A = this chain, B = another copy of it.
Amino acid sequence: MTISHDFSGVIAPVLTPFGDDGAPDAARFVAHAKWLLADGCTGLAPFGTTGEANSLGLEERMGLLEALVDGGLDPKILMPGTGLCALSDTVKVTRHAVAKGCGGVMMLPPFYYKAVEDDGLFAYYAEVIERVGDDRLKIYLYHIPPVAQVGLSVALVGRLIEAYPETIVGLKDSSGDWDNTRALLDAYPDFTIFPGSEIFLLEGLRNGSAGCITATGNVNARMIRNVYDKWRTDAADDLQAQITALRLTLQARPTIPMLKAIVAHFRNDPGWARLRPPFLPLEAGDARAGIDELTQQYGFELKAA
């Protein structure tokens, strides 16, 4: 069985809906995943930061991944997050994702202990890869120091690529720091690198990135995909300016609650606005103000699939 690791384009870290019992809602989740593909996503990254993945238990993650695959999504376009704090839990959910045929996994470094050394992070990834022990494993490193605090230096990424060239195949850079993304692109031109925001989409593509993996792809994949499709045309800079402006408005409020409020509003499904603690939904007035801004300034809407 050969698994491609050719992820590219616009990938959404899928929002995770919760039922009124507080449990993840698999039916809404699968429906949203299918809608995202219809809306222009080329791949999906369930269980990212945006998906409140680190508020989901191990069994919940694995159950939701099974729901996606059983629901008919092609596992080859799925790149689930499988990087947990604890090495043994990471191995468990990574093995599960590989067994389900996922095209890749996105893997945070272990993020509880701070000020750990590159040697320790290298040892962690090495032990995960060896314990999973499966040639089908394709890891996309997940660099998000504003949240995880523990990041992956350019030098460490290079050591991992060199040691595991068939396994360490890409990276999502959610540092928000273009200089870091650019340094990675320059250092590892054959590596599959995704900026973590569409703000860097065009600049990234012009410097060899593979697209973007972006939270706001949950509500705006169509326009982002349009930039991806037309990035070599004369229209590219104008199209990029539009998605950058929309992104800045979308992230002006707490992003995950705002995205859920948008989905709830346009689908007329208030339950979609639920979050799991420690996150809380936006105040109704705040959500309303955000949606008004989007509709009035950008004519924004969430189209049916």
- Contacts from A to B (Cβ < 8 Å): 22, 49, 54-60, 84-89, 92, 109-114, 116-117, 119-121, 123-124, 126-127, 146-150, 276-280
Instruction: Enumerate chain B residues within 8 angstroms of A57, measured Cβ to Cβ.
Output: 86-89, 92
Contact status B123-A86, CB under 8 Å: no
Contact status B120-A85, CB under 8 Å: no
Given contacts A116-B279, A120-B279, 5 further A-B contacts (CB under 8 A): A22-B127, A55-B110, A55-B113, A57-B86, A110-B277
Q: Which of B89, B147, B276 contacts A87 (CB 8 A)?
A: B276
Inter-chain CA distance A137–B20, complex, in Å, is 25
Inter-chain CA distance A59–B85, complex, in Å, is 14
CB distance from A115 to the nearest CB of B (A): 9
Contact status B110-A111, CB under 8 Å: no
15 contacts between A and B (CB under 8 A): A49-B112, A55-B87, A55-B112, A59-B88, A60-B86, A87-B276, A87-B277, A112-B147, A113-B147, A119-B280, A120-B280, A123-B278, A124-B277, A124-B278, A126-B277
Instruction: Enumerate chain B residues within 8 angstroms of A86, measured Cβ to Cβ.
Output: 54-58, 60
- Look across to chain B and name the residue whose beta carbon is closest to the beta carbon of A127: B277
Inter-chain CA distance A15–B112, complex, in Å, is 17
Contact status B120-A54, CB under 8 Å: no
Instruction: Enumerate chain B residues within 8 angstroms of A148, measured Cβ to Cβ.
Output: 112
Instruction: Enumerate chain B residues within 8 angstroms of A89, measured Cβ to Cβ.
Output: 57-58
A120-B278 contact, Cβ under 8 Å, with A110-B55, A113-B147, A147-B113: yes
Inter-chain CA distance A123–B116, complex, in Å, is 31
Q: Which of B109, B114, B279 contacts A147 (CB 8 A)?
A: B114
Instruction: Enumerate chain B residues within 8 angstroms of A60, measured Cβ to Cβ.
Output: 86, 88
CB distance from A134 to the nearest CB of B (A): 18
- Look across to chain B and name the residue whose beta carbon is closest to the beta carbon of A90: B57
Q: Which of B54, B113, B277 contacts A278 (CB 8 A)?
A: B113
Q: Which of B22, B54, B116, B119 contacts A113 (CB 8 A)?
A: B54
Inter-chain CA distance A150–B279, complex, in Å, is 13
Inter-chain CA distance A211–B132, complex, in Å, is 44
Contact status B278-A116, CB under 8 Å: yes
- Look across to chain B and name the residue whose beta carbon is closest to the beta carbon of A114: B147
CB distance from A111 to the nearest CB of B (A): 7
Inter-chain CA distance A280–B54, complex, in Å, is 25
Contact status B147-A277, CB under 8 Å: no
